[in-house]
């Protein structure tokens, strides 16, 4: 809209550009102008109007408007309206039309009720309240599926079977094929989604070799070009990227990420349609040099681990390699991290020491790939089911990509790794599972302890030769040494931040400052902040985390036509009819421009016909 | 050739014949012509502008003007005989001394001592509108030089001359005297006159008509940018007080023709009001309006027996001086 003032500004500037001349008296001129038809003033006004109109029409046309045709209200006593208020509804004019449609339905019904997709537990009632609510309601930053809200609506409608109205953009990601019951009452769907859309979003930010990388996805069906900007501390870096339709591309920023410790910032896609998925915050925590105690029993078992530690380019670990026998002479608390390369070699006294160490806040990676000589040490933590040495080999069947260690991996990254023997341990959180169902990596609950059930040596697996081995190992160490490895949260998550003491702390959020009292945790006090609503950096003391919206919501791809009948929903009203105003507006802009040209050409002709003496 | 003009032609630095301050001629090439051309050139405003000092300007104009007249019949009107001179074509027959003719069979004209009882007031409009154009000779410059020339000529003819400079009020009032010292006071005042303020010509004329008790010749030099009816009313007020009036209407050619090539923003020099105009579209109507206004002034003045002389800035000064002499002779 500010652009619409451009012609007015140009007009005023052209007035300033006019040659200004002092004149003895305007007495006679004013009389003459009053007598005569003032073409000049008329010309100025007409040209100004035409230019403003042309620009306004052009701007409106560029916003691809369409004329909503309101649905007739449902003439019923009761009506339950489900309104999708996810952030994808902020695309274009969807939200405006959604509110209009909701208001229309609510005003037509005698006893309307409203369920918001972001708050499925609450049912809003009362015409006046609903009217006020809809006046001020905005799309949330959340990306809820419609399932909870629909299930709640189905449950409500069972009692009195009021008609249901769902106002949504019917995204494919919003309605799963399973988990939705059959509607007990007629379900009218007002579909504001369109198959034609242009949107790009940032899927993920991560650090790779000290370089910040952003995965940008083009959800639309046409190629797009976007400028991606990294804002970090006081530096800004921009890159332009072309993205093919429905693909993801990775942008690697050249600004080096060399700082140890906490690094926060954001990556922004400029000039895109849906703002919320165009900004993604990051809080990368790179620990300072961490002393690591590596307890070995046989050189063959820790060889590959040492190779990875030596080759680690971040250089953040300071390994000290000792034999098992020296374990009892060392003060383990000097080392934040302990690596036991062969758990089978440990004796009961060693297990006591390790358990005390873990209880005091230490972290350990225990490699228990061989049958334990003294299984009592792990018995109260994990259960041993024996040793599995299959005739062939085992492969990785499942990985928990929600875990911070594994969230950069895909299952296919591990598909070529073969495991010839594993220790069958159960209990704890199973992070990786083999094709036999045996766990490969286990995280003990409430302890900073990771157990590998395989031996990282060629005799037990060829995984040590595979690409993911080194990053898996380093990420495991990172996870164990970093108190807040999880630095990325999604809106609505519960943020847990470790703090040094139980004294109240101040949490800095994008919405302001919140005072929180730490809760006693298993190992150290922590503060818990539930359901952050705004994307940004949340910070307590020197610890910070990034909160972002669910990136999947940026995919505006509509639901396939046949899906609703397939999941048992009979659609009564499929789509909100709309007339695209782009072409008429472009035509009007062109007409205004042509009319202006006609005036200017006519004036030029007139000027040539009546030459004036200089 | 008059000695004064001869001195101008003799070199870039010369002395004023009356012993006033030496002056420097800025462009001698213009004057290196025959005397008749020189006298005409000397009356052109653009040449006058090149001289320093308003007294020199006045002298140049008047002497040049008188040289052009060459034995002018407007020499003087007196009651006391001074000398005889041969008759020249153009002299009035009534002034031939028939007794001398009877004795010598030749025509001689009797000359008399000039009268000194004419009281002239020069009313100079110094309002903001007179400061046009911004570059070059402004209307006020032209008017000042014309005033100075008239004052010089009047003093030279032993008439009393006074100066009144006004804008929307009377800024300066110098009562009429006939001395050389008084002339220098007038010159100094004219040198120091600056444009500014609005025009309230009609009101000022009424004020002055009331203030000037003793009848005389009133010379008004103005661009007359005020309500026409009221201005004429003010002029008639003078006539009602038995004053003789000579009205010089000063204007720039732009004011008459509105010759500007493109649309422009005109700002009123007095009120500051701005007006966007396209001269191409209103020029004809404006020119008609200006000429009609001039014609109306002429008619109104004629009815009131006022001499009205429109003077463009390009008009040589002799026209104005001739007009004055005509009026002066009628007064005699």
Residues belonging to chain B with any Cβ–Cβ distance to chain A shorter than 8 Å:
129-132, 134, 139, 199, 223, 225-226, 252, 254-255, 258-271, 273-283, 285-286, 289-290, 293
Supply the pLDDT for residue A571.
62
Domain assignment present for residue A298? The answer is: yes
The per-residue pLDDT for B18 is 36
Structure tokens at B164: 């009144």
A70: pLDDT strictly greater than 80: no
Say whether both B24 and B96 belong to one domain. Answer: no
**Partner residues linked to A396 by β-bridges:** A434
* CATH code: domain of residue A306: 3.40.50.880
Strand bridging mode A337-340 / A439-443:
unpaired
Torsional sign, CA A103, A105, A110, A113: negative
Helix (H, G, I), strand (E, B) or coil at B309: strand
Distance CA A1, CA A5 (A): 8
Is the CB of residue A396 less than 8 Å from the CB of residue A440?
yes
What is the least distance, in Å, from the CA of A32 to any CA of chain B? Answer: 6
- Mean pLDDT to the nearest integer, B230-244: 91
Write out pLDDT tens, residues A194-228: 778 889 999 888 887 778 899 999 998 899 999 99
- Residue to test with chain B: of A21, A23, A39, A45, most B Cβ within 10 A: A23
Nearest to A483 by CA among A444, A524, A431: A524
Contact between B308 and B302 under an 8 Å Cβ cutoff? The reply is yes
Q: Are residues B216 and B133 in the same domain?
A: yes
Q: Where among B60, B89, B112 does a domain terminate?
A: B112
The whole-number pLDDT of residue A551 equals: 87
**Structural domain includes residue B75:** no
Is the pLDDT at A230 greater than 90? The verdict is yes
CATH number at residue A139: 3.40.50.410
Element (H, E) at A202: strand A200-208
pLDDT over 70, % of chain A: 83
In this predicted model, what pLDDT tens digit does every residue of B305-332 receive, in sequence order?
898 988 888 888 877 777 777 766 666 5
Same domain (yes/no): B286, B147 = yes
A438 shares a domain with A572? no
Q: What is the pTM of this model?
A: 0.44
Residue B101, pLDDT > 60, answer yes
B290 neighbourhood in chain A, CB within 8 Å: 28
**Of B134, B225, B278, which has the smallest distance from its Cβ to A22's Cβ?**
B134
Please tell me whether residues B195 and B224 are part of one structural domain: yes
Q: Are residues A50 and A7 in the same domain?
A: yes
pLDDT at site B220: 93
B33 plus B130 within the same structural domain? no
A-B C-beta contacts closer than 8 Å: 101
- A41, B266: Cβ pair inside 8 Å? no
Does residue A519 lie in a domain region? no
Q: Which domain holds residue B53?
A: 3-69
The predicted pLDDT at position A350 comes to: 85
Top-confidence residue, B62 or A86:
A86
- Say yes or no to pLDDT of A511 above 80: yes
Q: Give the pLDDT band of residue B22 (cuts 50, 70, 90).
A: very low
pLDDT at A215: 92
Q: What pLDDT, on a 0 to 100 scale, did the predictor assign at position B332?
A: 55
Same domain, A307 and A455: yes
Give pLDDT tens digits for A380-418: 677 777 888 888 899 999 998 888 788 888 888 999 999
User: Does the distance separating the beta carbons of A35 and B285 come in below 8 Å?
Assistant: yes
Q: How many domains does chain A have?
A: 3
The answer to whether residue B7 scores a pLDDT higher than 60 is: no
pLDDT at A16: 63
Alpha helices, H only, B212-316: 228-240, 253-257, 279-303
Length reported for chain A: 614
Residue A512 inside a domain? The answer is no
Question: Domain of A167?
Answer: 67-196+556-580
Nearest CB to A18; choose among B255, B273, B276: B276
Return the pLDDT at A417.
93
Q: Does A26 touch chain B (CB under 8 A)?
A: yes
Mean pLDDT score of chain A = 81
Tokens of B139: 């209307």
Nearest Cα of chain A lies from the Cα of B324 at a distance, in angstroms, of 26
Please, which pLDDT band fits residue A161 given cuts at 50, 70 and 90?
Answer: low
Evaluate whether A501 touches A516 at the Cβ level (below 8 Å): no
β-bridge pairing A363-367 and A337-340:
parallel
- How high is the pLDDT of residue A570? 61
Which residue from A minimizes the CA distance to B130? A24
**Nearest Cα residue to A546 out of A280, A287, A288:** A280
pLDDT for residue A61:
83
A41-51 confidence digits (pLDDT tens): 677 788 888 88
Cβ of B277 and A27 within 8 Å? Answer: no
The band of B81, judged by pLDDT with boundaries at 50, 70 and 90, is low
DSSP letter at B225?
-
Of chain A, the percentage scoring pLDDT greater than 90 comes to: 16
A603 and chain B in contact, CB less than 8 A: no
User: Which chain A residue has its CA at the smallest distance from B292's CA?
Assistant: A28
Cα atoms in the Cβ-side hemisphere of radius 13 Å centred on A527:
24
Is residue A452 a contact partner of residue A367, using CB atoms and an 8 Å limit? yes
* Whether residues A435 and A461 fall in one domain: yes
Q: How confident is the model at residue A602 (pLDDT cuts 50, 70, 90)?
A: confident
CA-based nearest residue in chain A for residue B293? A28
What CATH number has the domain bearing residue B219?
A: 3.40.50.410
Q: For residues B122 and B14, give the distance between their C-alpha atoms in angstroms, rounded to a whole number.
A: 30
Q: Give the span between the Cα atoms of B48 and B26, in whole angstroms.
A: 10
Question: Looking at the structure, do residues B63 and B191 belong to the same domain, yes or no?
Answer: no
CB contact under 8 A, B267 and A29: no
In a domain, B74, yes or no: no
Strand B307-312 and strand B244-251: the pairing is: parallel
ipTM of the shown complex = 0.70
Tell me if chain B has a CB within 8 Å of the CB of A608.
Answer: no
Residues B36 and B157 in one domain: no
Cα-to-chain-centroid distance, residue A500: 30
Q: Rounded to whole angstroms, how far apart are CA atoms A374 and A368?
A: 11
Which has the minimum average pLDDT: A349-353, A434-438, A478-482, B135-139?
A478-482
Instruction: Write the DSSP symbol of residue A362.
Output: -
């Amino acid at each position: 809209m500010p652009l619409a003032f451009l012609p007015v500004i140009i007009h005023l500037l052209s007035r300033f550009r006019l040659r200004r001349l002092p004149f003895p008296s305007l007495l006679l001129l004013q009389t003459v102008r009053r007598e005569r038809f003032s073409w000049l003033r008329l010309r100025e006004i007409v040209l100004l109007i035409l230019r403003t109109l042309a620009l306004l029409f052009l701007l409106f046309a560029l916003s691809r408007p369409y004329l909503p045709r309101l649905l007739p209200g449902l003439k019923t006593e009761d009506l339950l309206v489900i309104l999708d208020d996810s952030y994808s509804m902020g695309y274009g004019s969807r939200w405006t039309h959604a509110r209009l449609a909701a208001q229309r339905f609510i005003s037509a019904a005698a006893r309307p009720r409203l369920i918001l997709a972001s708050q499925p537990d609450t049912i809003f009632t009362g015409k006046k309240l609903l009217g006020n609510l809809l006046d001020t309601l905005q799309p949330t930053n959340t990306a809820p599926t419609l399932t909870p809200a629909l299930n709640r609506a189905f449950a409500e409608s069972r009692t009195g079977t009021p008609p249901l109205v769902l106002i949504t953009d019917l995204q494919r990601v919003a309605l799963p094929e399973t988990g939705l019951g059959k509607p007990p009452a007629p379900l009218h769907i007002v579909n504001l989604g369109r198959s034609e859309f242009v949107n790009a979003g940032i899927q993920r930010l991560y650090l790779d070799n000290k370089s910040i990388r952003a995965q940008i996805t083009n959800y639309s069906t046409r190629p797009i070009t976007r400028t991606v900007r990294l804002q970090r501390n006081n530096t800004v870096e921009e890159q332009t990227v072309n993205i093919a339709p429905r693909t993801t591309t990775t942008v690697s920023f050249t600004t080096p990420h060399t700082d140890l410790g906490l690094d926060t910032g954001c990556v922004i896609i400029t000039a895109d349609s849906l703002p919320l998925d165009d900004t993604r915050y990051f809080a990368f925590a790179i620990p300072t040099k961490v002393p690591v105690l590596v307890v070995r029993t046989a050189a063959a078992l820790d060889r590959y681990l040492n190779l990875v530690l030596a080759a680690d380019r971040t250089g953040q670990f300071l390994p000290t390699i000792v034999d098992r026998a020296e374990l009892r002479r060392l003060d383990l608390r000097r080392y934040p991290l302990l690596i036991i390369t062969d758990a089978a070699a440990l004796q009961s006294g060693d297990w006591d020491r390790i358990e005390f160490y873990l209880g005091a806040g230490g972290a350990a990676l225990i490699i228990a790939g061989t049958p334990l000589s003294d299984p009592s040490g792990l018995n109260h933590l994990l259960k041993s089911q024996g040793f599995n040495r299959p005739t062939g080999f085992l492969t990785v069947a499942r990985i928990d990509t929600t875990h911070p260690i594994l969230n950069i991996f895909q299952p296919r990254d591990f598909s070529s790794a073969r495991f010839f023997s594993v220790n069958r341990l159960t209990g704890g959180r199973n992070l990786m599972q083999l094709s036999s169902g045996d766990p490969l990596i286990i995280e003990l609950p409430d302890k900073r302890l990771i157990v590998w059930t395989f031996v990282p040596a060629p005799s037990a697996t060829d995984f040590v030769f595979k690409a993911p081995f080194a990053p898996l190992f380093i990420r495991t160490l990172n996870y164990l040494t970093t108190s807040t490895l999880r630095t990325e949260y999604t809106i609505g998550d519960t943020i847990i931040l470790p703090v040094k003491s139980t004294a109240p702390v101040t949490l800095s959020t994008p919405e302001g400052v919140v005072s929180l009292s730490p809760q006693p945790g298993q190992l150290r006090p922590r503060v818990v902040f539930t359901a952050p609503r705004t994307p940004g950096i949340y910070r307590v003391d020197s610890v910070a985390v990034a909160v972002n919206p669910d990136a999947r919501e940026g995919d505006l791809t509509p639901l396939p036509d046949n899906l609703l009948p397939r999941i048992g929903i009979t659609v009564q009203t499929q789509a909100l009819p709309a007339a695209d105003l782009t072409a008429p507006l472009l035509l009007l802009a062109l007409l205004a421009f042509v009319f202006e040209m006609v005036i200017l050409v006519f004036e030029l002709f007139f000027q040539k016909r009546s030459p004036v003496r200089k | 050739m008059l000695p004064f003009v001869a001195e101008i032609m003799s070199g870039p630095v010369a002395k004023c014949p009356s012993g006033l301050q030496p002056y420097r001629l800025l462009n001698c090439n213009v004057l290196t012509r025959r005397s008749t051309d020189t006298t005409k050139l000397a009356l052109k405003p653009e040449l006058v502008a090149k001289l320093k000092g308003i007294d020199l300007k006045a002298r140049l104009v008047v002497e040049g003007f008188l040289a052009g007249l060459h034995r002018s019949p407007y020499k003087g009107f007196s009651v006391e005989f001074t000398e005889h001179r041969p008759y020249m074509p153009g002299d009035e027959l009534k002034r031939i001394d028939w007794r001398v003719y009877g004795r010598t069979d030749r025509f001689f004209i009797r000359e008399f001592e000039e009268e000194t009882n004419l009281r002239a007031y020069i009313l100079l409009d110094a309002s903001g509108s007179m400061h046009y154009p911004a570059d070059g000779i402004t209307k006020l410059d032209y008017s000042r030089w014309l005033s100075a020339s008239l004052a010089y000529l009047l003093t030279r003819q032993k008439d009393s001359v006074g100066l009144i400079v006004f804008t929307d009020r009377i800024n300066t009032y110098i009562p009429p005297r006939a001395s050389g010292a008084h002339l220098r006071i007038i010159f100094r005042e004219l040198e120091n006159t600056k444009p500014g303020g609005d025009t309230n010509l009609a009101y000022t004329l009424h004020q002055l008509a009331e203030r000037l008790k003793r009848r005389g010749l009133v010379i008004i030099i103005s661009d007359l940018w005020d309500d026409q009816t009221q201005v004429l009313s003010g002029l008639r007020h003078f006539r009602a007080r038995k004053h003789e009036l000579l009205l010089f209407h000063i204007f720039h050619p732009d004011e008459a023709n509105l010759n500007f090539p493109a649309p422009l923003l005109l700002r009123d020099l007095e009120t500051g009001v701005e007006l966007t105009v396209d001269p191409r579209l209103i020029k004809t109507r404006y020119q008609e309006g200006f000429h009609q206004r001039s014609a109306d002034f002429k008619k109104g003045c004629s009815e009131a027996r006022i001499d009205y002389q429109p003077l463009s800035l390009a008009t040589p000064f002799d026209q104005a001086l001739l007009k004055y002499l005509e009026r002066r002779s009628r007064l005699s």
